[in-house]
Amino acid sequence: MRKAGFPPVVDANTRVLILGSLPGEASLAVQQYYGNPRNAFWRLMEGVLDTPLVPLAYEARLAALLIHGVGLWDVIAEAERPGSLDAAIRDPAANDLLQLIEKLPALQAVAFNGGTAAKLGGKLIGDRIATIALPSSSPAHAARTFAQKAEAWTALKTPPLREREGPTRSVGG
């Protein structure tokens, strides 16, 4: 059975686009980005934005991201995957990242949430815009503590500008 992701959450003021790989089972079940309560994404973004997000309803969380110039999407549009692990992804079909990037006039950087997103997304984007590879917010990525992930995610506070385009830089592994 193929699993499909969600539409992008962006607007004309999106400065940073955060790309995951493909929503996991819990997210697909509730039809929400980072819908698994064990996923650290919303807590990590609270630190980046200095704004409470976890207590908010989902739609208010998305609105808060947009107010701060942050958009969401996934590298993979659909794929075969039993369970939620990125290692189990087979036959992925990519989202049209380049088309979306071209439609976002304020975009300064693309951040990849995890290694799979960085590997696949980096190939699709190339050097068209500055990119940042972040450690995964997934509970399956236990190689880093929350504090280590939060430290790496602070790179989103000062995204590189378009004039500084170049290869993906990895932050905190």
**Which CATH number does the domain housing residue 23 bear?**
3.40.470.10
Give pLDDT tens digits for 138-159.
Answer: 987 678 899 999 999 999 986 5
DSSP-H helix ranges across the chain: 25-30, 41-49, 58-67, 97-102, 115-125, 146-153
Residue with tokens 């107010």, as numbered in its chain? 67
Average pLDDT of 94-118?
95
Q: Which of 13, 36, 39, 95 is catalytic?
A: 39
Total-model pTM: 0.89
Q: Residue 49 belongs to what domain range?
A: 2-170
Please give the pLDDT value at position 29: 94
User: What's the domain count of the chain?
Assistant: 1
Instruction: Please tell me what DSSP assigns to residue 132.
Output: E
Is residue 13 among the annotated active site residues? no
